[in-house]
Amino acid sequence: MTSHHPTSLRSGFVATLRDVLRDKGALMIFVAAPLFYAFFYPWFFGPEVVTRIPVAVVDQDHSALSRSIHRLALANPRIEVKAVGADERAAQAAMSRGEIDGYLVLPDDLKAHVARGMPAMVTVVSNGAYPLISKAVQYGFSEAVGAASAGVEIRQREAKGQSPRQAGESRTPVDFRAMALFNPTEGYSSFIVPAVALFIMHQTLLMGVGMLVATWVERGAAYASPMAWIGRWLAFLLPGLVSGLFYFGWVFWLYGYPRANNVAGSLVFLVLYVSAIVTLGSLVGLWCRDRERVLQVLLFSTLPMVFLAGFSWPPEALPLPLQYLRWLIPTTSGVQAALRLNQMGAPLQSVMPYLGCLLALTVVAGSFVLKFGGKPQGD
């Protein structure tokens, strides 16, 4: 580990690269951690959408209509009907045991109400403890019931003398078409994994840089000239840029995530994003002054950073003070800019506020590093 004070850009760059390669802990964070998470994390979200949720149908009507709804539920890819019966208590018990995640209740007066032209009600019960599963159950059953209801309505119109085409058109005079841009499958992983990749880059780089700088402080080697600090930052930029290109290029291609819709803009963003993390990590290392304390501080702050970054919870729903505080974290601007550039293909000027925030963080954190790291460190 370097013990002298570099004075030039070249000496700072070379010494830092040497320290990165010699420090097994930092090397593992810079290299092994991004590689591990690149394969481990997307693995869980391979199917993109939740399908084949185990459910039951409680058929108390035993009519042609209820059997039609049952058949349509069997054909729906969101759900998988595991049991059919007339006892709702048995379905509740099965859900309590974890055998199913929801059930549909078809009341005994379903066909009678429909035949009289009266409103009929069916009930979907789902496990609300898991919102993603609960929504899949509700959507699956609603699609089955909706298709059966449409068939009943069309037959009623045909009975009044309309042709099949007229019956279909009169039932839906206005067609509705929904288009999900930039994530056509509406897959969960296409939304969450790119954001988490940015956060993984943020935490691994912040931790590795902070650990090395804190080690320099411990050894009395943190002092350096401004040009040497720039050399150090350039050296730290290398693993960050390689990690970013690895994720945004090969990993996103491997898993089929939207990527590279604005290549030039994404590269500009990546340089600014990594620069903000590197200078902030240097400041954290100088402030903590101890390698283990860097790990403690960053591990303690990881979960709050996840919420503040704006991808696990809508930032508009945060308390007002946190809506301002979150901009001190590079991931906040990083997620918003990367989403627009890499997935939406937005022009560079549309993300200038986010890039400006990253540049401001780089300048402010870098200025503090030059102030406190430009003189010998005392105990």
Residue 71 DSSP class: H
CA 271/CA 159 separation, integer angstroms: 68
Task: Encode pLDDT of 132-167 as tens digits.
Answer: 889 899 999 999 998 888 776 656 665 666 665 655
Task: Encode pLDDT of 108-132 as tens digits.
Answer: 999 888 888 788 899 999 988 888 8
User: Phi/psi class of residue 98: alpha, beta or left (left: φ > 0; alpha: ψ in -120 to 50)?
Assistant: left
CA 3/CA 15 separation, integer angstroms: 10
Mean pLDDT of the region 1-12: 74
- CB contact set of 222 (below 8 Å; sequence gap of 6+): 213, 216, 285, 286, 373, 377
Q: Residue 221's Cα: distance from chain center in Å?
A: 39
Alpha-carbon distances of 309 from 264, 315, 331, 340, rounded to whole Å: 24, 8, 6, 15
> Among 263, 142, 194, which residue's Cα sits nearest to residue 37?
194
Residue 174 DSSP class: S
97 has a pLDDT exceeding 90: yes
Question: What pLDDT is attached to residue 108?
Answer: 92
Question: What pLDDT is attached to residue 378?
Answer: 45
CA 334/CA 72 separation, integer angstroms: 44
Taking each helix axis as running N to C, give the angle between helix 263-288 and helix 188-218, from 0 to 180 degrees, rounded to the nearest 10.
40
Q: Contact, 277 vs 330, CB < 8 A?
A: yes
Q: What is the pTM of this model?
A: 0.76
Domains identified in the chain and CATH numbers? 9-46+185-372 (no CATH), 53-171 (3.40.1710.10)
Amino acid code (one letter) for 272: L
CA 276/CA 196 separation, integer angstroms: 18
Alpha-carbon distances of 134 from 66, 78, 123, 253, 313, rounded to whole Å: 22, 11, 14, 31, 18
Task: Encode pLDDT of 281-302 as tens digits.
Answer: 999 999 999 999 998 998 888 8
Q: Which helix (H) or strand (E) holds 66?
A: helix 64-75
Mean pLDDT of the region 197-218: 93
Tell me the pLDDT band of 306, cut-offs 50, 70 and 90.
confident
